[in-house]
Amino acid sequence: MSSTPANKKIFDTALLKRVFQMAAPYKKKVFLSFSLAVLLALVSPIRPYLIQITVNNYIKSGLLDWVIRITIIQVVFLLIETAFRFLFSFTTAWLGQTVVKDLRIKVFNKVINLNLSQFDRTPIGTLTTRTINDIESINDIFADGLIPIIADLLSIISILVVMFVVDWQLALISLAPFPVLILATFIFKESVNRSFIKVRNAVAALNAFVQEHITGMQVVQAFAAEKREYAKFRKINREHRNANINAIFAYSVFFPVVEIIVAISTGLLVWWGAGNAVHMSEAEASEMAGKIISFFIYLNLLFRPLRVIADKFNVLQMGMVASERVFKVLDNDDYIKKEGIYAPDKVAGSIEFDHVSFGYSDDKYVLKDINFTVEPGETVALVGHTGSGKTSIISLINRLYHIQQGEIRIDGVPIESYRLDSLRRQTGVVLQDVFLFSGSVLDNITLRNPAITLEQVQNAARLIGMHDFIEQLPGGYNYNVMERGATLSLGQRQLLSFIRALLYDPSILILDEATSSVDTESEKMIQHAIDTLISGRTAIVIAHRLSTIRKADKIIVLEKGEVREIGNHEELMEKGGFYYALHQSQVRELKTQS
């Protein structure tokens, strides 16, 4: 995964505008947050100024009644300011979380509609990072980024204006170390920015690595690769730690520097005020005392946002980097762009491949000029060596991938003319590696479709021969199969997928290696399920077992992405060609195993 350059422009205005367009439905909240930022800037200097008036006019004169009145007014302003700050913080946080919610829905909707080729090329952990971590960072643009930065800048400007209006000379003296603070802030921002970019990249790498290895844990342990993979994880984790430590080091240096600069400013303030008070009249000295006290508070109010503004700039920058990555997912146009409107309730089930060529990348075709026809109700077996293109053919029938050349027709209608959900509803797929979601047996069969009743599921399970088995499970149809169906055998998972396919009553059935790698008893049940499913349906079967192949009405022999032979078992055996050689090799293999 490519990293984002450390010198990337912070305010990519087009990107920032796009982020705030996500908040367009909540314009009132945006307006409220900016209004509160202005109000906080106006309220901030009031309390120090009231303290100055109290010291200059009332404390020296002993006017305690006025001191009490001014104190009450200060408390009121303090309460008002506190209420404004609470409302500001809550509004910006609400805005950020709401935008995150909307954006996460849009990204997930985009992800589930992408072509499968995207998942072939993109690590699952990377997409997980985009959908969870990166989107969460966009919240910071609102809660701790642009709007809070604007609020802090307005407060700084407001305080500076008041300081110069009250006493420009005292303001200049006390702010003399200010350029050093600006330089320190810039250095800190750049240092933390580089570290945070490395942290982001390391987080994505960690997510991808952990996701991949947990999913493939069986392979890791089967080949005793735990130590090697552990060493790789340690390396990625070390990079993540080092990036965080670099950021922590920058914070550890920056905040003490700020405290030193504040102390120097305070010292200059007292030195200048005390030095000049010696040469002043009593009234002027008293006025200077009030200014020094108020300026001390102004400096604290001024440096408070300055301490964190560099950090907020980095938060904004990280939010911008994250939003760029998220928008790349949203801008990904590798999905089914052209979708027809033809949506029949039922299709007869004829399939035609007319000069179809296809490749997972445009420069390398895995299917070359494929031509064949499947009549309604026919059972067709696809046979061939690994890599011959069998799985690619079945993936094209329900438009999981684009084809580069040719045309695929169902009932004489190009599949591009079908509405996508209608086309896929007509096609039932039972894969070799059945994926089950974490949840109940019922949820996995119905895919949480509320329109499907338990009675319908039970009837389908009886036809497949699985009802009694399911009823014996703890909880029956509510039994939790765990993630990926870990508590069920391969054969049991496949039989559940048969129930799922039967329940949706497809006109076209696709079976990909459905009887491979199972025991004899499970094979008999699966064969019964196959016979039940294909009855009256068009079926395309990928199978190595001779018994399945012989039953097919038509056999299509593939070799290196090309159709070599088409016919039934007897016809192809008589030819003595590719199928004959493949058949004979399987017979010898069976004899060797027995």
Q: Which of 503, 512, 399 is nearest to 448 (CA)?
A: 503
Bigger pLDDT: 59 vs 74: 74
Evaluate whether 133 touches 321 at the Cβ level (below 8 Å): no
Q: How many other β-carbons are positioned within 10 Å of the β-carbon of residue 276?
A: 15
Judged against a pLDDT cut of 80, whether residue 509 lies above it is answered with yes
Distance CA 564, CA 545 (A): 20
Identify the band that residue 408 occupies on the pLDDT scale cut at 50, 70 and 90. Answer: very high
Tell me the C-alpha distance between 145 and 155, whole Å. Answer: 15
* CATH of segment(s) 18-330: 1.20.1560.10
**554-559 and 562-567 beta bridge pairing:** antiparallel
- Across 75-102, average pLDDT: 89
Question: Cα angle at 501 between 464 and 340, to 5 degrees?
Answer: 160
Helices 64-113, 146-166: crossing angle, 10 deg rounding: 160
Q: Flag whether pLDDT at 10 surpasses 50.
A: no
Taking 70 as the threshold, does the pLDDT of residue 250 lie above it? yes
Highest mean pLDDT among 332-336, 437-441, 470-474: 470-474
Q: Is 349 left (phi over 0), alpha (psi -120 to 50) or beta?
A: left
DSSP 8-class letter at 485: G
pLDDT at 49 over 50: yes
The listed CATH number (3.40.50.300, 3.50.50.60, 3.40.190.10, 3.40.30.10) that belongs to domain 351-593: 3.40.50.300
Please give the Cα distance from 43 to 159 (Å, whole number): 10
Ranges of each domain in the chain: 18-330, 351-593
Looking at residue 362, its amino acid is: D
Give the three-class secondary structure for 370.
strand
Please, are residues 379 and 552 in contact by the beta-carbon 8 Å criterion? yes
The mean pLDDT of 547-572, rounded to a whole number, is: 87
Terminal Cα-to-Cα distance of the chain (whole angstroms): 50
Helix axes 454-464, 490-503, angle to 10 degrees: 120
Answer with the residue of higher pLDDT: 65 or 173: 173
Average pLDDT of the residues of the chain: 81
Once rounded to an integer, what is the mean pLDDT over residues 147-156?
88
Distance CA 296, CA 423 (A): 74
> Positive or negative, the Cα torsion across 486, 487, 489, 492?
negative
